[in-house]
Structure 1
């Protein structure tokens, strides 16, 4: 079908040529995406020859998921020939689609988790995974650690610390990882009693006076220890332990001596533990059957065991390396 004798399309003609319904053409017209050339004497919409190409472009943009307001901006840019609205709009849609896909993968793994468990476990698992959004939100984990950190930590040091201790949910989780994250979420959001005092001595007023120095040094020591853990090396003195002890010595304004190491080991052995958090973190970041990834908690245990082994070798006395504390552990 061709335009009428005046070179204009009627709404039905335009819809047929573009392969859409009259209702669709009317919707785009009413929203300003498809300007009319004029109205007939009977009040019917008439469109110029350029309307067919514009309608096809609008249809393609909408098929990509762009909302009407973004389509408006793209069309305006097409007319002016300036800017990069289309590229920005497509990038935004890709980000949104990625978030939707992550949510779907999380929900799929959650459904498989419920499907594969024993009937007696379903109520508990439904309760756990039902409390977590999809894709899961890590903000509660960050809040947990913000309340655990010493006061007056610089913003940059806090951000670096949170990046190290808050695990990112896997992009394509297995059911076991969904369960581990749900349990981790429950762990950090459970009510705390007044008797609980999770902060180690280094966080209190009589402890380290330079928390940013302490945590920067610990981050370096944990990274060094993590490499040794991946190699399967048993805890032993070396540059990893020296870096670990130096973090505390620098924060306390002390020298790294054997006496200081003995006092430090005693303090760390008496500090509270957050073992369960790190066990669950390891399960979240490690696919079933994979090699467990080192965490700050496992790195701290390795370093304390190395310190304990050194003290036993030099003084004959240790601090039960199998039950050490951690900062943060």
Structure 2
């Protein structure tokens, strides 16, 4: 059996430290001497070293207590701490890039950039972007279809941003949080209740069409007819329960030309991740242009 002083000496800590862990329940004494002094089993030395190691990683005392009970709990505690640390590191990287952005701009730019950056949480959240799209999408969209669309439409903030990416995300946040994000949003015709469109069918077909058009955009090909355009038009036809005919394509071209546009959103999204696939907005514009060209050619 070890006295509290012997245990502290072997572990390289103070008696006060051993007493603190004992009083916290992390290192209970095996017994007490006739004089009331604590006595510890030799195995307590290994436990004390484990406690010190965990505390050196900044684990709170309650988490250390949980981690000492079972190995699987220790794994959960480590995973939780890694997530928390990752969030702290992301916040620090974001702050560093924001400070560099402010340092390197002109005095005339600084006030606007401070306003934009100050409106974004650290680390940044995509909640405002998701809210924007939930209000833009048809109200009767199934939850699974909404989630699938948000996965493509809402960009994740860069883990290690450049100053320019910080500014771009701040502008994106301001765009969806400003007047267009606070008042009623103009809806595309296909979103309106009186059009009789099945939104889940429409957006599933559009996602497939955008995926087909993506490689064409990346290669720099001009908008043209083909599988991607047929899939695009077919999505609107199937969603509305009509046939894909030349007359339908003509009507669809006019309908899409009258829809409200959010080009600035897609432009900023594309700037945020230069190496990402084309945005749904870019795919939509490419396919609309291809449809307009085909309708004009047929009508000529």
Match of 2:299 in 1: 315
Structure 1: give runs of 5+ residues left out of the alignment.
1-6, 78-82, 317-329
Distance 1:124 1:298, change over 3 A: same
Of 27, 50, 54, which aligns to 1:61?
Answer: 54
Superposed displacement of residue 86, structure 1: 1.9
Of 103, 108, 111, which aligns to 1:115?
Answer: 103
Match of 2:160 in 1: 172
Work out the CA distance in 1 between the residues paired with 2:148 and 2:74.
35
In 1, are the aligned partners of 2:3 and 2:37 still within 8 Å (CA)? no
Distance 1:235 1:246, change over 3 A: same
In 2, are the aligned partners of 1:208 and 1:248 still within 8 Å (CA)? no
Superposition CA RMSD, Å: 1.9
In 1, are the aligned partners of 2:175 and 2:181 still within 8 Å (CA)? no
Work out the CA distance in 1 between the residues paired with 2:236 and 2:14.
72
Of 112, 123, 126, which aligns to 1:124?
Answer: 112
User: Are 1:48 and 2:36 an aligned pair?
Assistant: no
Work out the CA distance in 1 between the residues paired with 2:133 and 2:183.
18
Superposed displacement of residue 15, structure 1: 2.1
The superposition leaves residues 261-301 of structure 1 with CA deviations (integer Å, 9 ceiling, x where unpaired) of: 11000011011111111111111122xxxx57411111101
Match of 1:9 in 2: 3
TM-score (norm 1): 0.86
Superposed displacement of residue 26, structure 1: 2.1
Work out the CA distance in 1 between the residues paired with 2:35 and 2:179.
71
Superposed displacement of residue 42, structure 1: 4.9
User: Are 1:297 and 2:261 an aligned pair?
Assistant: no
User: Are 1:212 and 2:200 an aligned pair?
Assistant: yes
Of 207, 216, 224, which aligns to 2:212?
Answer: 224
Match of 2:82 in 1: 94
Work out the CA distance in 1 between the residues paired with 2:27 and 2:259.
69
Tell me which stretches of 4 or more aligned residues in structure 1 moved more than 6 Å.
none
Structure 2: give runs of 5+ residues left out of the alignment.
none
TM-score (norm 2): 0.94
Work out the CA distance in 2 between the residues paired with 1:107 and 1:62.
27
Match of 1:233 in 2: 221
Secondary structure of residue in 1 paired with 2:193 = coil
Secondary structure of residue in 1 paired with 2:155 = coil
Superposed displacement of residue 73, structure 1: 2.3
User: How many pairs are equivalent?
Assistant: 300
Superposed displacement of residue 40, structure 1: 4.3
Work out the CA distance in 2 between the residues paired with 1:139 and 1:214.
25
Work out the CA distance in 1 between the residues paired with 2:107 and 2:14.
50
Match of 2:189 in 1: 201
Superposed displacement of residue 125, structure 1: 0.9
Please state which structure has a larger fraction of its residues in helix: 2
